[in-house]
Amino acid sequence: MRSAALLQYQVAANMNEVRGVLELIQCPACKELIKSDLTCSGCGRKYSSREDMLILIDRETSELEWKWDRRILSKKYRNETLSGYEKLISEEIREARNLWWRAASPFLEKVKGRTVDVATGMGQLLNRITDGRPAEIIATDIDPNILLSTKREMDERNVKGVSYVATDARHLSFRDSIADYVTSFSGINNITDTKAVLKEIFRIMKPGGTFLMMEAFVDDNTNSADLADDYGLKDAYIMDRLLTILKDTGFSIKTRRKASSVIWKENAMDVFPLDGDKVYHYIIEIQKP
Ligand SMILES: C[S@@+](CC[C@H](N)C(=O)[O-])C[C@H]1O[C@@H](n2cnc3c(N)ncnc32)[C@H](O)[C@@H]1O
């Protein structure tokens, strides 16, 4: 009886979050408003939801370049993937990542207001920005399976104030100027067409809003830079190229901090970067004027 009441409370709380987010969304294809039955009022495209997670992806415009193994929906598989990765990376990489998170901590503490986390994945950054604080956060990812897996985990821990929208960062399904903050950890690094992604992020941000990025970079003229080019990710991995795009998009750079660097040691899970190349971990805080 007690758990049924709790469940009802959780469902009601989730419904509030879904209702709230409905006022912020638009069709990723034609940009018109989406009605509460998740049909686009302009082009009639029909979208869907799963366990209170909206799925606003138009398969014609969004190619799924990154697809998680469907087994990620299994809690056991998810946990094994996480712990397996930690064991695979070298001690030096683990230490460099720890330094990165430590350096990011004061920046993460400043995140406030309506926040869109781009490419939430397993939710490492989401975990940190929800930690003990009241939040209005929209977690997003192109792959509904990973997002649902992260949502289940957050729901299980009773984390409130987060809504979940599966959307392509190159065609964000949000209306203009809705976000006070945008965050991304290793998101921009993993999405092709950096220019389109940054243009979309700029569009959904309020004037004066902040975009906090935690991304990795490699040196130009290395094998890793060539590989990034092959994957369509060179703009995202070469600092100078990214800075130029940020400025051309209209952003101003507030802070650019190198948190750590490490010589990459390949492992069975990461296809990038390449063994022996140096990787730099940065925290970049930028503003929409
Ligand atoms: C390394 S993970 C991000 C880690 C995550 N931000 C965290 O805090 O744990 C990269 C994520 O980018 C997502 N992704 C790839 N292409 C995308 C796109 N076009 N739009 C949105 N997300 C995308 C992948 O599904 C994957 O979950």
Over residues 92-120, the mean pLDDT reads: 97
Q: Residue 133: what pLDDT? A: 73
What angle is formed at CA 23 by the lines to CA 169 and CA 195, rounded to 5 degrees?
20
Q: Residue 14: what pLDDT? A: 56
Does any ligand 1 atom lie closer than 6 A to the CB of residue 186?
A: yes
- How far apart, in whole angstroms, are the C-alpha atoms of residue 80 and residue 1? 34
pLDDT digits (tens, 9 = 90+) for 135-175: 799 999 999 999 999 999 999 999 999 999 999 999 999 99
pLDDT digits (tens, 9 = 90+) for 207-235: 999 999 999 999 999 999 999 999 999 99
Report the number of distinct structural domains present in the chain.
1
Tokens matching residue 189: 């690094």
Q: Residue 135: what pLDDT? A: 76
Is there a domain that residue 187 lies in? yes
Å from CA of 30 to ligand 1 middle? 23
Å from CA of 188 to ligand 1 middle? 8
Atom of ligand 1 at shortest range from CA of 185: 6
Atom of ligand 1 at shortest range from CA of 122: 9
Helix-then-strand count for the chain, H and E: 9, 9
pLDDT digits (tens, 9 = 90+) for 9-44: 444 445 556 778 999 999 999 999 999 999 999 999
- To test the pocket of ligand 1, the residue of 120, 128, 194, 215 to mutate (highest count of ligand atoms within 8 Å of its CB) is 120
Is there a domain that residue 171 lies in? yes
Is there a domain that residue 29 lies in? no
Q: How confident is the model at residue 61 (pLDDT cuts 50, 70, 90)?
A: confident
Q: CATH code at 210? A: 3.40.50.150
Is the bond into 144 cis (omega within 30 degrees of 0)? no
- Domain with 171, as residue range(s), is 55-287
Is there a domain that residue 44 lies in? no
**Mean pLDDT value across the chain:** 93
Is there a domain that residue 5 lies in? no
Å from CA of 185 to ligand 1 middle? 8
What order do you get walking across the sheet with 53-55 strand by strand?
Answer: 48-50, 53-55, 162-166, 136-141, 114-117, 179-185, 205-218, 278-287, 252-263
